[in-house]
Structure 1
Amino acid sequence: MEISKTKRVVWDETGQDYAMFVKELGNLRTRVDGDWTREEAFDVHMEIGRVLYEYQLFKEALVSFKIACELQPVDVRPHFRAGNCLYALGKHSEAKGEFTLALEAAKNGSNQWDYLLPQIHVNLGIALEAEGEYKAAVKALEEDIFLKANYVDAHCDMASALHAIGDDEKAVQVFQQALDLKPSHVDVLYNMGGLYMEMGRYQRASEMYTRVLSVSPNHWRVQLNEAVALLGAGETKEAKRALKEALKITNWVELHDTVSHLKQL
C-alpha cells in the first residue's frame, strides 16, 4: 500500500491545533482552485495529497485526491491514491470502488498507465480480501501475476487468499513460487510457516521459521512460533531451546500467554 513507516504526524482531532491546520489547508485548496488552471490545480492537489499521505494524514490526503478525481476523472492516479487512503482508514469497500475505477481508467486509457496496473491489481486484491471476497481477490491477483510474473508480494497475497477459501495445497504452490523469486523474503517465509502450522505440517513450518530467523534473528514472535512448531513435530528439546531464545529477546505478556498455551498441549 506504500504507506510510509518513517513519517507520521499525530493530531488530536478535537484540539484547536488540528482545527487550525484543517482551516489553513482548506484556504490553500481554495486559492489553488481560484488561481490556477484546471490542469495546474490537478497537479497541485495531487502533490498536496501525496505530502499528506506521506505523513499518514490519510483523511486530509483523501480530500485532496477526491478533488483531483473531480478535476481529471479519467486519470488513474487520483483514484489509485484515494483507494490507498480509504484502505488505510479501514474503509475497505470504498477502497475497492476506487481501485476498480482506477483499473477501468487504466484499461480505457493509453499504455501510459501500464506501469501502475500491477500495483492497482494487487491493492484491489488486498481490498477484496479485507472485504471477505476471497475468490474475487484471487482473480485480481492472478491477473496481477499475469501482468508481472516476478511480483513477489502479489504471490504472497494470492496465497493468503487461496488459504482463506480453503485451497491450501494451491496456496503452498504459490508461496513456493514467491520463494523461487526471492528465497529470503521474510513475509513469504513467515506466512508459509503459518500455513504449514495450520495444515499440521509442523516440521515444514519449523523449517520456514528457521529461515526467517536466519534473516531476522531477533524476531521474538518467530522464535515462539518455531517453538510451537517444534513441539508439534515432537522435537521437545529443540522447542525448549527456541523458547529460551524468545525469553532472551522479550518478556512481554504475549510470551507468558504462549507459554501457558504450550503447557496445555
Structure 2
Amino acid sequence: MDKNQKGIEYMQQGKWEEAAKVFVEAIEEDPNNAVAHINFGNVLTAVGETEKAMKFFDRALELDENAVAAYYSKGNLFYEMERFSEAKENFELAMKKGLQTGDNYFMLGMSLIQLEQGRLALPFLQRSTELLETDAEAFFQYGLCLAQTEYIDEAISQLEKSVELDPTHADAFYNLGVAFGFKEKAEKALEMFERALEIQPDHLLAGHGKKLIEQAIEENQ
C-alpha cells in the first residue's frame, strides 16, 4: 500500500503518531511530493501544531501551485484561527483551481457569514446542500443564513430538511420555532420550541421562546 494511503488510514483511526511517522517517511523518500506534505500538515493541524502545519501546506504549494487540497487545508486552519478573510481567500483559490466539493463550498459560505456577508454566502451554502445531500449541518447553516437575510419561507424549508436528516438537532428546531413565530404561526412555533427542549432541556433560547409564545397564546385567548 502507498504510504500516503496508509497514513490516511491511520488518521481515520485517530492514530496520529503512526500517521505522522508514515507521512514523514513518504516525504523523506520523495521530498517533492506535495500530497505527503499536505497530509503531514493535516496531522499537525489535528494535534494543534498550527504554525508547523501552515509551513507544510505552504511547502506543498511551492511544489505544486495547483494542489487544491493545500488551499482547502489552509482555509480550514485560518478558519479555526478566526482569520476569516484569509480563510475565505484560500477556499476561493481552491474553488477556482478546481475543488468543487460540498465541504469547500460550505466552508467558503461559513467564512463569508463570519465576515457578515450573508447574502454573498447564500449561493455557496446552497451549492453545499446540493453536494452534501445527507449533511444536516449544511442544511441548518443554509437555513440559518436564509433566515438572517429575511428569506423566511425558504429558511423554514431548509431547516425542516435539517431536522429530517438529524431529528436530534436542537438548534434547528429552535430556529424553526423562531421562523414560525415570525410567520405568526404560534402553535407551530410552540411545537418546535418544545421539540428543541425535549432534545436539550437546558436550551435557554428555546425555553425563552416557549415562554413568549405561551404568553402570546394566552393573551389571544
Per the TM alignment, residue 167 of structure 1 is displaced from its structure 2 partner at its CA by 1.3
Per the alignment, do residues 188 and 52 of structure 1 end up closer, same or farther by CA in structure 2, a change over 3 Å counting? same
| Contact residue 174 and residue 205 of structure 2 kept, 8 A | no
Alignment partners' CA distance in 2, 1:64 and 1:206: 51
Per the alignment, do residues 196 and 54 of structure 1 end up closer, same or farther by CA in structure 2, a change over 3 Å counting? farther
The correspondence for 1:93, drawn from 85, 100, 118, is 85
Q: Give the structure 2 partner of residue 81 of structure 1.
A: 73
Q: Give the structure 2 partner of residue 38 of structure 1.
A: 32
The one-letter code of the counterpart of 1:120 is N
The correspondence for 1:104, drawn from 84, 92, 96, is 96
The correspondence for 2:179, drawn from 195, 202, 208, is 195
Q: 1:88-109 CA deviation, whole Å, 9 max, x = no partner?
A: 22221211111111112235xx
Higher mean Cα deviation, 96-105 or 44-53?
44-53
Q: Give the structure 1 partner of residue 8 of structure 2.
A: none
Q: Percent identity?
A: 22
Alignment partners' CA distance in 2, 1:203 and 1:196: 9
| Contact residue 62 and residue 86 of structure 1 kept, 8 A | no
Per the TM alignment, residue 118 of structure 1 is displaced from its structure 2 partner at its CA by 0.8
Per the TM alignment, residue 125 of structure 1 is displaced from its structure 2 partner at its CA by 0.9
Alignment partners' CA distance in 2, 1:214 and 1:60: 44
Which TM-score applies when normalising by structure 1?
0.62
Consecutive unaligned residues in structure 2, runs of 5 or more: 1-13, 15-23
Report the number of matched residues: 196
| Contact residue 206 and residue 230 of structure 1 kept, 8 A | yes
Is 1:144 equivalent to 2:136 in the alignment? no
Instruction: For 1:119-130, list aligned pairs within 5 A.
Output: 119-130=103-114
| Contact residue 141 and residue 157 of structure 1 kept, 8 A | yes
The one-letter code of the counterpart of 2:59 is I
What is the RMSD computed on CA atoms of the aligned residues? Answer: 3.0
Q: Which has the higher Rg, Structure 1 or Structure 2?
A: 1
Is 1:68 equivalent to 2:52 in the alignment? no
| Contact residue 58 and residue 88 of structure 1 kept, 8 A | no
Consecutive unaligned residues in structure 1, runs of 5 or more: 1-6, 8-28, 108-113, 236-265
After TM superposition, which residue ranges in structure 1, 4 or more long, deviate above 6 angstroms?
Answer: 32-35
Alignment partners' CA distance in 1, 2:50 and 2:214: 42
| Contact residue 59 and residue 85 of structure 1 kept, 8 A | no
Q: Give the structure 1 partner of residue 162 of structure 2.
A: 178
Q: Give the structure 2 partner of residue 231 of structure 1.
A: 215
| Contact residue 50 and residue 61 of structure 1 kept, 8 A | yes
The one-letter code of the counterpart of 1:141 is L
Per the alignment, do residues 63 and 189 of structure 1 end up closer, same or farther by CA in structure 2, a change over 3 Å counting? farther
Alignment partners' CA distance in 1, 2:113 and 2:151: 15
Alignment partners' CA distance in 1, 2:77 and 2:58: 10
Per the alignment, do residues 69 and 158 of structure 1 end up closer, same or farther by CA in structure 2, a change over 3 Å counting? same
Which TM-score applies when normalising by structure 2?
0.73
The correspondence for 2:149, drawn from 153, 165, 171, is 165
Is 1:210 equivalent to 2:194 in the alignment? yes
Is 1:156 equivalent to 2:140 in the alignment? yes
Higher mean Cα deviation, 149-158 or 219-228?
219-228
